[in-house]
């Protein structure tokens, strides 16, 4: 199996590794994806609008020159995909979008009252739901509203999630004119039987045509999402999908493991459990995926992301500039995130915050002239320290004790004595290399980087009930 780049020394050559099934099974445990630390399940309702406003005003006083990241959640979908665990509203009534956009406008007005207009934005992402549920005119209005209140800087990453069933070549041209320079297509699987089983039928020819059009139009990067572990998938059928994906050759690929949690996510109750692949078949799909994608020339960025060597994400990993936020891996500097829309999660300074999860609650707060913050948290000194450690592992695959010590005024080996003992066991399994002043994730360890990061998660040390998280594999 082709290996990932060992981040202990970015000058090292990548090596070939086969990951034994025993190792994958041993570390196939529930765990966070670490788009933040602490994770969102730790947010509390005691953190509300006044706490968020205080964080905004502190930013205004001290770091206005730093660029922002902006996330806008569009919750609407015309039909339900049975595997989906996103916050969404299923409706064919497109007039609901106009009402939602009016409330988004109110939220932005309240935000800028507290920290001012015109802040530079280097990263914008429209997620959902299905952002392309909105018409071209509605998307244009949304982008106009964003530009009226923020400054989208040249060279930024401006991306939108796209359901291939909702766009044409002409719509892609419209998105480019609006300023989007990156697309993410939800594919999941090309097999017709699997698509039918998850209620998301989209011919491969349609996706191929759209990706070709996106390239001609000049989008800087095209991502494709895949999921393994879906009903009726087999190692053989998924191998066919991988072959088609390699022919499609998107710039980036996100390969997710399906987490079947029907008690938490109602749409998943429509999936027939007996049709789900076995654990061993899922391992086979993962192993074959790693082989197929890296044999095709993709760089393993980390966890479940792959990119062509020329893509900005792969370049950022080689140069040690990789970051991670609520949208996953990013090339943009670690920065504050303004989150807009129902259920959206943001980060300002040493705080996290989340908006109301239902439209009724979201609308009600804004009708009262309040920001719709319903929960969040202010990070402690220990949280900030562990966040730095976990993000270093997740993004750079390495820990330099001295930089952590200087940044947080601790003795690394004393503070993390228990964690280093656990890492010794991981070293015995070939996942990390421990040195006198550093820890490095091995090529094999990159595939299980979530498990390595979990060692430093203080909340998991005292909470062994991890059922709320998906499994690593």
Instruction: Give whole-number Cα distances, 359 to 284, 366, 372, 412, in Å.
Output: 41, 11, 10, 45
- What residues contact residue 325 under an 8 Å CB cut-off, 6+ apart? 35, 36, 69, 334, 337, 347
Does 320 show up as a binding residue in the annotation? no
Burial degree of 115 (CB within 10 A; 0-12, 13-18, 19+)? buried
Q: Please name the residues in contact with 412: beta carbons below 8 A apart, sequence gap of 6 or more.
A: 401, 404, 405
Full DSSP string of 3-20: PPPPSSSTTSPP-B----
User: Does 352 appear as a known binding residue?
Assistant: no
DSSP state of 376: E
Please report where in the chains the tokens 């479940």 appear, as a residue. Answer: 304
411 is in an annotated binding site: no
Is 200 annotated in a binding site? The answer is yes
Ligand-binding site membership of 128 (annotated): yes
Buried b (16+ CB within 10 A) or exposed e, 403-435: ebeeebebebeebbeebbeebeebbebebbbee
Annotated binding residue 37: no
Tell me if 147 is assigned to a ligand binding site. no
Helix (H) or strand (E) holding 174: helix 169-178
Residue 161 is assigned to a ligand binding site: yes
86 labelled binding-site residue: no
> Is 445 marked within a binding site?
no
Contacts 24+ apart (CB under 8 A), 295-300: 295/2, 296/246, 296/249, 298/253, 299/4, 299/5, 300/2, 300/3, 300/4, 300/5, 300/446, 300/447
Residue 321 is labelled as binding a ligand: no
Residue 269: both structure tokens together: 């109750």
Please check if 129 is assigned to a binding site: yes
Confirm whether residue 329 is marked as ligand binding.
no
Helix (H, G, I), strand (E, B) or coil at 147: helix
The answer to whether 363 touches 370, Cβ cutoff 8 Å, is no
DSSP-H helix ranges across 409-447: 412-415, 417-428, 443-446
N-term to C-term CA, the chain: 17
Binding residues: 71, 77, 81, 83-85, 128-130, 161, 188, 200, 225, 259, 345
Binding residues for S-adenosyl-L-methionine: 71, 83-85, 128-130, 161, 188, 200, 225, 259, 345
Binding residues for [4Fe-4S] cluster: 77, 81, 84
């Amino acid at each position: 199996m082709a290996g990932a780049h060992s981040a202990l020394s970015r000058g090292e050559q990548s090596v070939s590794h086969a990951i034994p099934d025993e190792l994958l099974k041993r570390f196939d445990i529930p765990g966070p994806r670490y788009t933040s630390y602490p994770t969102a399940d730790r947010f509390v309702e005691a953190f509300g609008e006044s706490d968020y406003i205080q964080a905004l005003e502190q930013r205004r006083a001290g770091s206005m020159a730093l660029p922002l990241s902006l996330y806008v959640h569009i919750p609407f979908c015309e039909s339900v995909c049975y595997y989906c665990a996103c916050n969404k509203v299923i409706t064919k009534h497109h007039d609901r979008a106009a009402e939602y956009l009016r409330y988004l406008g109110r939220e932005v007005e309240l935000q800028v009252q507290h920290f001012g207009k015109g802040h530079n934005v280097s990263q914008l992402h429209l997620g959902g739901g299905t952002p392309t549920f909105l018409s071209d005119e509605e998307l244009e209005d949304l982008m106009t509203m964003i530009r009226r209140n923020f400054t989208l800087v040249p060279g930024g990453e401006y991306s939108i999630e796209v359901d291939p069933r909702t766009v044409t070549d002409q719509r892609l041209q419209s998105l480019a004119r609006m300023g989007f320079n990156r697309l993410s297509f939800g594919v999941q699987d090309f097999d017709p039987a699997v698509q039918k089983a998850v209620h998301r039928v989209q011919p491969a020819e349609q996706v191929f045509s759209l990706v070709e059009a996106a390239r001609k139009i000049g989008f800087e990067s095209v991502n494709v999402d895949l999921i393994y572990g879906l009903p009726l998938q087999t190692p053989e059928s998924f191998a066919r999908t991988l072959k088609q994906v390699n022919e499609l050759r998107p710039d980036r690929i996100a390969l997710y493991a399906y987490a079947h949690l029907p008690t938490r996510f109602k749409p998943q109750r429509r999936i027939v459990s007996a049709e789900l692949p076995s654990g061993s078949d899922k391992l086979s799909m993962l192993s074959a995926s790693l082989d197929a994608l890296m044999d095709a020339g993709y760089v393993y960025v980390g966890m479940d992301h792959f990119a062509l060597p020329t893509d900005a994400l792969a370049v950022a990993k080689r140069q040690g500039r990789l970051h991670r936020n609520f949208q996953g891996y990013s090339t943009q500097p670690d920065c504050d995130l303004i989150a807009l829309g129902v259920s959206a999660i943001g980060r300002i300074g040493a705080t996290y915050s989340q908006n109301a999860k239902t439209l009724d609650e979201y609308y009600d707060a804004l009708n009262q002239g309040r920001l719709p913050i319903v929960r969040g948290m202010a990070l402690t000194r220990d949280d900030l320290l562990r966040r730095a450690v976990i993000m270093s592992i997740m993004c750079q695959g390495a820990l330099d004790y001295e930089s952590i010590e200087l940044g947080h005024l601790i003795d690394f080996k004393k503070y993390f004595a228990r964690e280093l003992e656990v890492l010794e066991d991981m070293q015995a399994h070939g996942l990390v290399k421990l040195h006198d002043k550093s820890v490095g994730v091995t090529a094999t360890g990159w595939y299980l980087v979530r498990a390595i990061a979990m060692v430093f998660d203080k909340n998991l040390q005292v909470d062994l009930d991890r059922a709320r998280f998906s499994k690593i594999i």
